[in-house]
Chain A
């Protein structure tokens, strides 16, 4: 968490906006749904980071989670696309205008089932995008079927036991090229906010899997995605302190070892050790830690993996700095002489 005081006290951010400028429509999700807490965190961090609201593009697929972009950043353009394929829409939109801050909110059905192919290829491209999975292990809008992130042995409300191993979206992210991979819990306001700030500062693909309990269909005793389960099994790997580039305030960090990472925009990420040392730049170490944790039933949370040194998709493609969408005709229609040359070659 940054050292800034709570938004309630601070009236305006560095752009002169109040929190209200970052709010969206009234949520129609169930009272107590984890997704609502995530929307609140998004409002909070975009405000605190001073992101220009009308320079943000929101994306989502289909499902309860995908409704949520209507509930934050009301002054931003949004695109509620088709089931599982928001990554494609986001990729096209950000290629058209690379200056946009892209945020995609999706669910475990979207990401780990119908859209897993798109998700995996998005991971390979290092598109600058904040990809949030609101992960509750069930399909909410269709009333409680298992999703592919449900743990072995977990039970639906109607008593069906899941026998198949879960897909770990963070593991996939680390393996396939995402450059910031994190897991959090919708109930851990402080950690989630710090992670989302790091995502805003990151120039590349951020994947954040947020365990976000479904109060209606998956918050019962035999669920591993319930509030009660997470409160017991949440296992943070570090305490995250985010210092934005525009605030030069020394963070007071209590005794203990700290790793510091300077991010692309100059912001600093201070990861304070909790228990065993964890190196988020060590890919294999991260994968091992996730495997080890899965055996215990605990849920590792925090910034699991970070690699700030990879070229993003725009650099890979060698694109001009200006948005492609609004380049003038003189820069996108080759001159008459070019056509003449081609015609001569073909004659």
Chain B
């Protein structure tokens, strides 16, 4: 880099003395199927091990190999882990996107690139670091077939040098990633890291201000994706019948679940499993099996995404009307139709709340983090079994498939609760029962399981009209009584679902409401609004539908309430419209993002500032 270029850099990005420590983002642009995921995860984990809070967002195509993919690592000493829009350090490995990637950088950014791409001529206001990847990979990887995979590890070495990441931490992260059984592969990749680091040390002069320094922001933390966290939640909730049909982005939840079930749920004495896993023929069958299992008393689960949910509509209605517990994880992706299978969205809120024909309402839980994936998975089973109804756990691709920093999960303290099930002893005492009679006033009847050893245990589950004894009925009064009880049962759930997180700010005239992964952008946006615009806000993060009284109270306290949605039509706000008063609705404002990427703070801030006229 010439002296004149340096000057322009210094003027736009600040002098080299004003270093940017632990507060920037790194984006690696590669081609999918090139093994870059390993290199990216190692880089992310090495920074994490240095105590710097991080987040990783993988933007990948719906394809196996050959299309562009971007991985963004954000390091934030403040602990902000939402996606950051601006890229500070680019590693340009994909010839197809390299020019566009470089052109989109802000002045003063960094571009590490394959020297063959000749990117330096494109601009003069960023820090370029060319690296001869092909030349470096050949000596460390004699096997030509493996070179494509090993090549990416070189940038870990280069970036480690440039940002001051401890090479020992890269080594530790790399060997953890490969595990003891793949030590040979790890050695090969380690050689590539070293080659990159040695080349950078000898040939590159650092001119940019970005650096990683050790801090103590991650004590006791783990790195995990939301799908794995959900899987663990189910395993520790005592799930017994697991049914799935592969679909992005939910497949990895089931694969993780199968892995943990094999480890922890095979009884050593017999070698037999305390669970059954079935890959069904389609999503219709998947939910049908879950409902059959729930009817017969198992804790049963399936996971899917929007297209699968569409197919599950019919069985969801059956589960609602017959009143059978079922837990369905919906790892939301961008629809409609096939949509963008590898992009994130909160696009199923409205649909799932009202899924299937006729009058139906279904509870939903909204985890925002791996910790909540784990804990709400357990709540999901308890609630579904208590209320004898299908329940949706609404995660999304961002939460499900990206790696997140999280606190270690706490072992469940509550015993597994199976709801209102009568056994043979109960029946002997009671003499009989009416399946759908509202004995306790909460709309939830008592049920028996098939196989209960008593002559009056049986009841007939039917999706057609029935009276409170589960007998076929087309009578007007039976129908209305039943539908009213079902609605009452749904409203009762408000008292039992996890309450929202509420932050009341006495100085605030406006409130922000969101659910799920919108949390991360929203929390950072509140900080931006306060620091940059002096705008105080209160905050309510929903963890469940039906919404409880807390939300009504929150709306009443604020003149304007911004409801954040990751979808085009403001679905979370629409759900509120269904049941709220005109006065409440008049206070609601909508903030929507639906580009398919994880929601960032700047988008929310810009929208609220605009609507507030600031």
Q: In angstroms, how far is the closest chain B Cβ from the Cβ of A109?
A: 16
- Tell whether, in the assembled complex, residue A85 and residue B285 are in contact, meaning their CB atoms are under 8 Å apart: yes
Contacts of B450 in A (CB 8 A): 54-57, 76-77, 93, 97, 100
Q: How far is the CA of A117 from the CA of B285 in the complex (A)?
A: 9
Q: Tell me the smallest distance from the CB of B294 to a CB of chain A, in Å.
A: 7
Question: Considering the chains assembled together, what is the distance between the CA atoms of A324 and B460 in angstroms?
Answer: 22
B292 partner, pick from A90, A317, A329, beta carbons under 8 A: A90
Interface contact B416-A343, CB-CB below 8 Å: no
Hey, what's the 0/1 contact readout for A65-96 against B, CB within 8 Å counting as 1? 00001100011111111100101111111111
Do B288 and A92 have beta carbons less than 8 Å apart? yes
Report B458-502 CB contacts with A as 1/0, cut-off 8 Å: 111111100000001000000000000000000000000000000
Measured CA separation A329–B263 after assembly (Å): 17
Q: How many residues of A contact B (CB 8 A)?
A: 58
The yes or no answer to B293 lying at the interface (CB within 8 A) is: yes
Given A88-B285, A89-B291, A97-B449, A77 and B458 contact (CB-CB distance below 8 Å)? yes
| Residue pair A319, B281 in contact (C-beta under 8 Å) | no
CB within 8 Å for A324 and B453 given contacts A70-B472, A82-B314, A97-B297: no
Binary B-proximity of A39-67 (CB < 8 A = 1, otherwise 0): 00000000000000111110100000000
A54 touches B457 (CB 8 A): yes
A338 interface contact, C-beta 8 A: yes
Q: Complex Cα distance A262/B290, Å?
A: 35
Chain A contacts with B in 304-323, Cβ cutoff 8 A:
314, 317-321, 323
- In the complex, A81→B464 CA distance in Å? 9
Query: How many residue pairs at the A-B interface have CB separations less than 8 Å?
Result: 227
Least Cβ–Cβ distance between A111 and chain B, in angstroms: 14
- Enumerate chain B residues within 8 angstroms of A338, measured Cβ to Cβ: 263-264
CB distance from A71 to the nearest CB of B (A): 11
In contact, B457 and A77 (Cβ under 8 angstroms): yes
**Which of B300-341 touch A at CB < 8 Å?**
300, 314-315, 318, 322
Residues of B near A9 (CB, < 8 A) are none
Q: Which residue of B lies closest to A329 (CB)?
A: B416
Q: Is A331 an interface residue (CB 8 A)?
A: yes
Out of A54, A92, A320, A332, which one reaches B296, CB within 8 Å? Answer: A92
- Is the CB–CB distance between A96 and B461 below 8 Å? no
B residues within 8 A CB of A69?
A: 460
Contact in complex: A334, B265 (CB < 8 Å): yes
Q: Could you tell me the distance between the alpha carbons of A323 and B462 in the complex, rounded to whole angstroms?
A: 23
Q: A80-B462, A80-B464 are in contact. Are A92 and B237 (CB under 8 A)?
A: no
Interface string of B264-305 (1 = CB under 8 A from A): 111100111111111011101111111111111111100000
With CB as the reference atom, state the residue of chain B lying closest to A80: B462
Give A301 to B300 CA distance when docked, in angstroms.
Answer: 40
| Cβ contact within 8 Å between A333 and B291 | no
Interface presence of A8 (CB below 8 A)? no
- Any B CB within 8 A of the CB of A99: yes
Q: Among A85, A96, A99, which residue has its beta carbon within 8 angstroms of that of B240?
A: A96
Interface bin, chain B: 35 or more
- Judge if B217 is at the interface, Cβ distance under 8 Å: no
Q: Is the CB of A82 within 8 A of B463?
A: yes
Q: Decide yes or no: A324 and B275 within 8 Å by CB, A54-B455, A92-B289, A329-B238 being known contacts.
A: yes
Which among B267, B281, B296 has the greatest number of chain A C-beta atoms within 10 A?
Answer: B296
Query: Nearest residue in B to A78 (C-beta to C-beta)?
Result: B460
* Nearest CB in chain A to that of B457: its residue: A54
A96 near B408: Cβ-Cβ < 8 Å: no
Chain A nearest Cβ from B446, distance in angstroms: 14
* Bound-complex Cα distance A326 to B472 (A): 29
Q: Is A296 an interface residue (CB 8 A)?
A: no
| Also in contact, A95 and B278, with CB within 8 A (given A318-B271, A325-B449) | yes
In-complex Cβ contact of B452 among A54, A79, A120 (8 A): A54
Nearest A residue to B242 by beta-carbon distance? A95
Given A78-B458, A80-B464, A320-B267, the answer on whether A343 and B409 have CB atoms closer than 8 Å is yes
**B222, A317: Cβ atoms closer than 8 Å:** no
- List the B side residues contacting A89 at CB < 8 Å: 288-289, 291-292, 295
Contact residues in A for B322 (Cβ distance below 8 Å): 79
Q: Is the CB of B461 within 8 A of A325?
A: no
17 A-B pairs whose Cβ atoms sit less than 8 Å apart in the complex: A54-B450, A77-B448, A77-B458, A78-B462, A80-B464, A82-B463, A87-B288, A92-B241, A92-B290, A93-B295, A318-B273, A319-B272, A324-B274, A332-B239, A333-B238, A334-B236, A346-B222
Closest 9 pairs between A and B when the two form their complex, measured CB to CB: A88-B288, A92-B292, A325-B297, A332-B238, A96-B298, A92-B289, A77-B450, A92-B293, A96-B296
Q: 8 additional contacts, CB 8 Å, given A80-B464, A97-B296, A332-B238?
A: A57-B450, A77-B459, A80-B460, A85-B284, A89-B291, A100-B450, A319-B272, A334-B236
Residues in A lying within 8 Å of B, measured CB to CB? 53-57, 59, 69-70, 74-82, 85, 87-97, 99-100, 117-118, 120-121, 314, 317-321, 323-327, 329, 331-334, 336, 338-339, 342-343, 346-347
